[in-house]
Amino acid sequence: MKAPERGALPLGLAGTLARTYGRLTETVQGLSDSDFRLETRCAGMPVGPLLVHLLYDAERALIAFASPAAVEPDRDFVTYWHDFPPQPDGDTSFVRSVAAAYRKPGLLVQHWREVSEAAVRAAATGLATKGHRVETQGHVLRATDFVATLVLEATVHHLDLIVGLPGAPEPDPEGLQVTARTLDGLFGPDAWDVIAWDTTTYILKATGRLPLDEHDLAMLGPHAHRLPLLG
Residue 230 is assigned to a structural domain of this protein: no
CATH number at residue 161: 1.20.120.450
Look up residue 157 and give its DSSP letter. Answer: H
Residue 160 is assigned to a structural domain of this protein: yes
CA distance 61 to 116: 9
Total structural domains within the chain: 1
Residue 108 is assigned to a structural domain of this protein: yes
Tell me the pLDDT of the chain (231 aa) as tens digits.
Answer: 344 445 678 889 999 999 999 999 999 998 999 999 999 999 999 999 999 999 999 999 999 999 899 999 999 999 999 977 556 555 789 999 999 999 899 999 999 999 999 999 999 999 999 889 999 999 999 999 999 999 999 999 999 999 999 999 999 999 999 999 999 999 988 888 899 999 999 999 999 999 999 999 999 999 999 999 987
Ramachandran region, residue 175 (left: φ > 0; alpha: ψ -120 to 50; beta: rest)? alpha
Residue 116 is assigned to a structural domain of this protein: yes
pLDDT of residue 89: 54
pLDDT of residue 103: 85
Range 113-119, long-range pairs (CB < 8 A, 24+ positions): 113/25, 113/29, 115/55, 115/58, 115/59, 115/62, 116/21, 116/24, 116/25, 116/54, 116/55, 116/58, 117/21, 118/58, 118/62, 119/17, 119/21, 119/58, 119/59, 119/61, 119/62, 119/65, 119/150
pLDDT of residue 117: 98
Residue 33 is assigned to a structural domain of this protein: yes
Q: Which domain holds residue 84?
A: 13-173
Residue 4 is assigned to a structural domain of this protein: no
Residue 217 is assigned to a structural domain of this protein: no
Residue 187 is assigned to a structural domain of this protein: no
- Global pTM value: 0.94
CA distance 207 to 203: 6
pLDDT of residue 2: 42
